Structure 1
Amino acid sequence: MTPLQTLEQICVEAIAAHLPFEDAAPRYRWLLDRWNAITEPSGRRPTPPGLEFEEAYDDLGFPPRMARFHRQALAKLPQLLRAEIGVQQLLFHDGDVLAALAAYQTNVFTDRLNQQLADRIPAGATVLELGGGAGLTTAKALRAGYLFTDVSTVFTRAAEQRFGVKTAILDINEDFDQQADVVIAGNVLHNATHIGKTLERIHRAADLLLFTESTRDSAITLTGMQFLLSPPTTRERIFLTADEWRAELSAAGFDTEPSTPDESGQQLFVARRRT
């Protein structure tokens, strides 16, 4: 069994141990539906993950704080689902937002995809990064003519200090006038309130769009980071499928290259503005 399969099995068992469970906060009812879809009620009490939990996280390249966070989340699934506690209390317990979000995105899968994304940027191209966050995609793709953007000054200031890069505040849900040869986005476009409108904005900004996204749910994300990503309003799920992304991109005026998800369900999309 691979480390990823080990984590998946542990998370499925933790979900099953708490089902049936219907007393969910409105914003998390979609999450409960996803739980029901991947497991059956077992009537067992939750069993805390053993040492293999930390070992699997370590083998996948995650920092230790990510395993600690997820272990706590598994132990508190009912409280999280009822919104009695917020996942932020577990993830940001020490107040270090940058380190916490970097821990979530630091792993062998994301690192490999970020490198593949960077390798697709043409030499000499100007780059506009959307939702740069903790800077993990930036670290791979950084070059001359680079503009790092995010909706939060926490991340733009950190990028200025770490990379010495030009930054700007940009909300993917609002119109923007920045232009570049290439727009890149690492696991951020799913945050758009209207995917089609955001893609239309990108279409006006650049000829080439390179972005990574998760294209399927897993028990791992459904018992941890999905609590953070879940919007206040009712929503069926967070991630679009690969086919749904291609349909949205085509409707926005992009042609896409063939691609497939990796073992973790993450995928690199290469989209060119249709002429």
Structure 2
Amino acid sequence: MLDDFFIRAVLAGLGVALVAGPLGSFVVWRRMAYFGDATAHAAILGVAISLAFNASIYAGTMLVALAMALAVSALATRGRAMDTVLGVMAHSALAIGLVAISFVPAARSDLSAYLFGDILAVGRADLALIWAGAVGVLAVLAWRWQRLLTASVNEDLAMAAGIDPRVERVVLSITLAVVVALSIRVVGSLLISAMLIVPAAAARGLSRTPEGMAGTATLIAAFSVLAGLWASLRLDTPAGPSIVAAAAGIFVLSQSVRPR
């Protein structure tokens, strides 16, 4: 079964969707859209470093994304104007990554695969890493769920309950870096944050509880993967952008439903 490239693409997309739903919900609740952009855009620099040193793409992107996520998390505790800082870091990270990758001849011809994903080229090893990482991130989110949720609702309330918001912010930073590394082959660095935000934003008006929103976002992300891959196969469109376009279509439809 895994010899079929389309089946592997579907399984890889569903693996990312499985974790994009709950993690994307936290990104929406905490208004971390630019946080995701900065982390995802930094992944291009990780790609350049990995190719330059002939290392694993996943390892390089995860290390750089983690460094960016922790840096942004540290800045968040200093009371800076975070929307401006995150905007500067996101675009600077992408620009530096593109400049760095231009010095790696092996990456020039396949740059679009890292920017927009190449899910149809996912192999068995990629599939194993995606699902192992997704299960690991889900386990962490399940373990810290109540603490993460309390810290997202109100940091003062979290501190009164004996929860350190800084620790929960670091946990989210680490899980976000892992998801960025896992997703770069599926939707690419430019579309990772969209895959996190759009399904969660669509689920927001369709859910009554945080757990319901996370579950609904996961279902929307999974359906977007299937619809996007189907459209890519039938219409010969890029797979990664097709997946995000399908999610965007669901978001538009969700706006016609009155929030509960």
Fold match by TM threshold 0.5: no
- TM-score with structure 2 setting the length: 0.25
Greater Rg by CA: 1
Structure with more contact order per residue of length (Cα contacts < 8 Å, sep ≥ 6): 2
Instruction: Pick the structure with more strand per residue.
Output: 1
- TM-score with structure 1 setting the length: 0.24
